[in-house]
């Protein structure tokens, strides 16, 4: 998360305010109602499939780096499971009548808040390890919906979510966006298209690009220019990140999704291009139609690395060789959860770089430790640093000169980790690497 976001004055979210006045029982009921809204056939299947084998534990970076039993993935969904057993499992009416399946208490929900917001990056590595195919990452995400309803979420994440609700973006208002674009134009002596009435491609940004990674915006502009694309950014729909998706605020998730889709249609764009951001890909590519409530057949939601790989393969983007050996961190939401594992390797091959893969890479890669809103949650820093150390050891073991990734949140997590531990390795953006090696 950018410094701009972490330095905002404290403002609680609307639901947080409302729930702040709620009684314990009202909070429990709000959480249970939020959980119940998620209980369908798939959840029932998951809840009844666990054989308590413990294999998911060895997949989770937070359990592996702390050794604490409470961080085992299956433990993180216990109150959600309790709520299911109390309300939806067969004979739950009888179970309730005889108090055989008590639901979670407020103390349990409070304790659980740390587990599902601080110690889960929704990375899905445990999901891959589970022999029963239980998607724990998805269950944690669904459980956040109930926690949000009960006002049980980390203050910092609530504040940033509130900013996304009332200011348009965690970064700020449209005027803040226009100011940042003007700063980037001055910094790189370029002109950037904003608010064109018609364009073929709507380019969106994450707060990290508007704040710390200005060079990524300039890099994208350079590539669009070489391709001769008719593109624009929009001051009314510039935000690619979705803090509704991360916090559990489904109304906000829907609102942010619809904003991007509606703007793309208004300007006649056929492509909504997402920046180097992981969860934006999950929210806008894989969940957009669900929240929009209609198919999006006329729009192609693309991630930057997918876009680059496509144009490199077609020969439209021509590259000169880049120097050095390289290792690549696979962002979980792009690769394991998002199906884009080949795209970065197409790009690195086209750059002629000698790729030294991490011990765990591709779909098996460990999370950076900051995904799923954990980077935005300042109190989770000690836990994040432990996950960072795991990744740092793997990067060093490759002996590669350069360390590259394609998610701004991963970059910020590595930058923060490097600063805290005095690590000299600088993580680089794949997009910026491409732009720096375009042939003239
Ligand atoms: S999704 Fe990732 S962080 Fe969350 S419990 Fe599973 S392995 Fe751990
Ligand atoms: S790996 Fe799957 S079946 Fe085994 S304990 Fe974890 S969730 Fe249960």
* Mean pLDDT, all residues of the chain: 89
Structural domain includes residue 171: yes
Structural domain count of the chain: 3
Provide the domain limits for residue 297: 166-310
Please check whether residues 78 and 172 belong to one and the same domain.
no
Looking at residue 309, its pLDDT comes to 98
Q: How high is the pLDDT of residue 189?
A: 98
Q: What is the CATH number of the domain that holds 36?
A: 1.10.1060
Q: CA 353 to CA 365: how far, in whole Å?
A: 20
Identify the pLDDT of residue 373: 87
CA distance 350 to 319: 7
How confident is the model at residue 112, as a pLDDT? 86
- Region 282-307: what's the mean pLDDT? 92
Confidence at residue 21, expressed as pLDDT on a 0 to 100 scale: 63
Q: Provide the token pair at 276.
A: 């180097």
How much is the pLDDT for 101? 62
Which residues line ligand 1 at a C-beta cut-off of 6 Å? 59-60, 62, 73, 76, 120-126, 136-137, 140, 367
Lowest mean pLDDT among 59-63, 99-103, 209-213: 99-103
Index of the ligand 2 atom closest to the CA of residue 73: 6
Question: Is the C-beta atom of 305 inside 6 A of ligand 2?
Answer: no
**Spacing, Cα 139 to ligand 2 middle (Å):** 13
Residue 91 is predicted with a pLDDT of 60
Going by alpha carbons, the residue nearest to atom 4 of ligand 1 is: 120
- The pick from 47, 48, 52 for probing ligand 2's pocket by mutation, whose C-beta has the most ligand atoms within 8 angstroms, reads 52
Q: Whose CA is nearest to atom 3 of ligand 1?
A: 120
Instruction: Say if 170 falls within a structural domain.
Output: yes
pLDDT at residue number 2: 38
In a domain, 11, yes or no: no
Residue 4, pLDDT score: 35
Ligand 2 mean position to 136 CA, how many Å? 9
Residue among 137, 279, 282 to mutate when testing ligand 1 (max atoms within 8 A of CB): 137
Say if residue 197's pLDDT is above 80.
yes
CB of 58 within 6 A of ligand 2: the answer is no
The predicted structure's pLDDT at residue 58: 95
| pLDDT (mean) for 143-158 | 87
Report CA(140)–ligand 1 centroid distance (Å).
Answer: 9
Residues 131 and 227 reside in one and the same domain? no
Residue 164 C-alpha to ligand 1 middle, in angstroms? 25
Say whether pLDDT at 92 is over 70: no
pLDDT tier at 12 (50, 70, 90 boundaries)? very low
Q: Which atom of ligand 2 is nearest to the CA of 72?
A: 6
Please give the average per-residue pLDDT across 91-116, as a whole number: 75
pLDDT (average), residues 285-308: 92
For residues 112 and 239, membership in a common domain is answered with no
Q: Is residue 7 part of a domain?
A: no
- Are residues 413 and 324 part of one domain? yes
Nearest CA to ligand 2 atom 8: 50
CB 54 within 8 Å of CB 7: no
Pair of tokens at residue 194: 């904003």
Give the model's confidence band at 438: pLDDT under 50 very low, under 70 low, under 90 confident, else very high.
very high
Q: Give the pLDDT mean for 122-126.
A: 96
Long-range contacts of 258-263 (CB under 8 A, 24+ apart): 258/291, 258/292, 260/202, 260/204, 260/284, 260/288, 261/288, 261/292, 261/296, 261/299, 262/237, 263/202, 263/234, 263/236, 263/237
Please tell me the number of the ligand nearest to residue 126's CA.
1
Cβ-in-10-Å burial (0-12, 13-18, 19+) of 2 comes to buried
* pLDDT tens string 361-390: 999 999 999 988 899 898 999 999 999 999
Note the pLDDT tens digit of each residue in 157-190.
Answer: 888 888 888 888 888 899 999 999 999 999 999 9
pLDDT of residue 7: 30
Residues of the chain with pLDDT > 90, as a percent, come to 63
**C-alpha of residue 119 to centroid of ligand 1, in Å:** 8
pLDDT at 129 over 90: yes
Residues 206 and 294 in one domain: yes
Q: Tell me whether residue 160 is in a domain.
A: no
Q: Edge-to-edge strand order for the sheet containing 402-405? A: 354-355, 325-328, 402-405, 427-429
Residue 20: pLDDT above 80?
no
Helix locations, 106-154, DSSP H:
106-118, 125-129, 136-149
Q: What are the structure tokens assigned to 119, written together?
A: 């110690």
Same domain, 285 and 336: no
Work out the number of other CB atoms within 10 angstroms of the CB of residue 416: 19
Residues 353 and 411 in one domain: yes
Rounded to two decimals, the pTM is 0.89
Is the pLDDT score of 89 beyond 70?
no
Q: At what angle do helices 78-87 and 41-49 cross, to 10 degrees?
A: 120
Of all protein residues, whose CA lies closest to atom 1 belonging to ligand 2?
Answer: 130
Mean pLDDT (whole number) for 124-133: 95
Task: Reply yes or no on whether the pLDDT at 94 is more than 80.
Answer: no
d(CA 108, ligand 1 centre) in Å: 20
| Per-residue confidence band for 143, with pLDDT thresholds at 50, 70 and 90 | confident
- For atom 3 of ligand 2, the residue with the nearest CA is 50
pLDDT at 18 over 60: no
Within a domain: 8: no
Which CATH number covers residue 358?
Answer: 3.40.50
258 and 172 in a common domain: yes
Look at residues 123, 149, 175 and tell me which one is the last residue of a structural domain.
Answer: 149
Q: Is 138's pLDDT higher than 70?
A: yes
Q: Which ligand is nearest to the CA of 129?
A: 2
Instruction: Pick the more confident residue, 440 or 8.
Output: 440
The predicted-structure confidence for 33-51, as pLDDT tens digits, reads as follows: 877 777 777 887 888 888 8
Residue 301 sits in the same domain as residue 415: no
Residues 47 and 138 in one domain: yes
The predicted-structure confidence for 269-281, as pLDDT tens digits, reads as follows: 999 999 999 999 9
Tell me, in angstroms, the distance from the centre of ligand 2 to residue 46's CA: 10
The band of 5, judged by pLDDT with boundaries at 50, 70 and 90, is: very low
């Amino acid at each position: 998360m950018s410094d701009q976001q972490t330095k905002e004055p404290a403002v609680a979210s609307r639901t947080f305010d409302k729930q702040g006045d709620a009684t314990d029982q009202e909070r429990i009921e709000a959480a249970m109602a939020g959980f119940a809204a998620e209980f369908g056939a798939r959840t029932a299947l998951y809840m009844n499939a666990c054989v308590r084998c413990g294999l998911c534990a060895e997949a989770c970076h937070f359990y592996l780096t702390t050794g604490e039993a409470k961080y085992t993935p299956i433990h993180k969904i216990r109150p959600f499971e309790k709520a299911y057993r109390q309300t939806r499992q067969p004979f739950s009416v009888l179970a309730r009548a005889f108090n055989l399946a008590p639901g979670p208490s407020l103390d349990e929900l409070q304790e659980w808040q740390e587990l599902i917001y601080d110690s889960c990056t929704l990375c899905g590595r445990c999901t891959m390890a589970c022999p029963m195919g239980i998607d724990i990452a998805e269950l944690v995400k669904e459980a956040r919906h109930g926690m949000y309803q009960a006002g049980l979420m980390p203050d910092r994440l609530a504040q940033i979510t509130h900013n996304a609700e009332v200011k348009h973006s965690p970064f700020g208002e449209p005027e803040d966006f226009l100011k940042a674009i003007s700063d980037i134009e001055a910094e790189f002596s370029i002109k950037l298209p904003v608010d064109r009435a018609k364009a073929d491609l709507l380019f969106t940004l994450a707060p990290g690009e508007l704040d710390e990674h200005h060079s990524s915006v300039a890099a994208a502009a350079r590539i669009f220019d070489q391709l001769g694309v008719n593109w624009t950014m929009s001051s009314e729909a510039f935000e690619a990140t979705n803090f509704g998706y991360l916090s559990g605020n489904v109304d906000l998730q829907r609102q942010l999704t619809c904003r991007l889709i509606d703007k793309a249609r208004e300007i006649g764009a056929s492509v909504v291009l997402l920046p180097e951001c992981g969860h934006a890909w999950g929210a806008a590519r894989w969940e957009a139609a669900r929240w929009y409530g209609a198919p999006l057949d006329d729009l192609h939601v693309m991630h930057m690395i997918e876009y680059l790989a496509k144009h490199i393969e077609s020969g439209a983007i021509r590259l000169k060789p880049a120097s050095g050996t390289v290792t690549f961190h696979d962002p979980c939401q792009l690769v394991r959860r998002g199906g884009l594992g080949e795209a970065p390797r197409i790009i690195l091959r086209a750059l002629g770089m000698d790729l030294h893969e991490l011990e765990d890479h591709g779909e098996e890669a460990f999370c950076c430790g900051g995904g799923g809103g954990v980077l935005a949650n300042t109190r989770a820093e000690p836990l994040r640093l432990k996950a960072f150390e795991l990744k740092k050891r793997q990067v060093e073991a490759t002996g590669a000169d350069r360390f590259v990734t394609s998610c701004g949140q991963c970059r910020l997590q590595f930058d923060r980790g490097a600063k805290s531990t005095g690590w000299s390795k600088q993580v680089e953006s794949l997009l910026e690497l491409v732009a720096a090696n375009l042939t003239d």
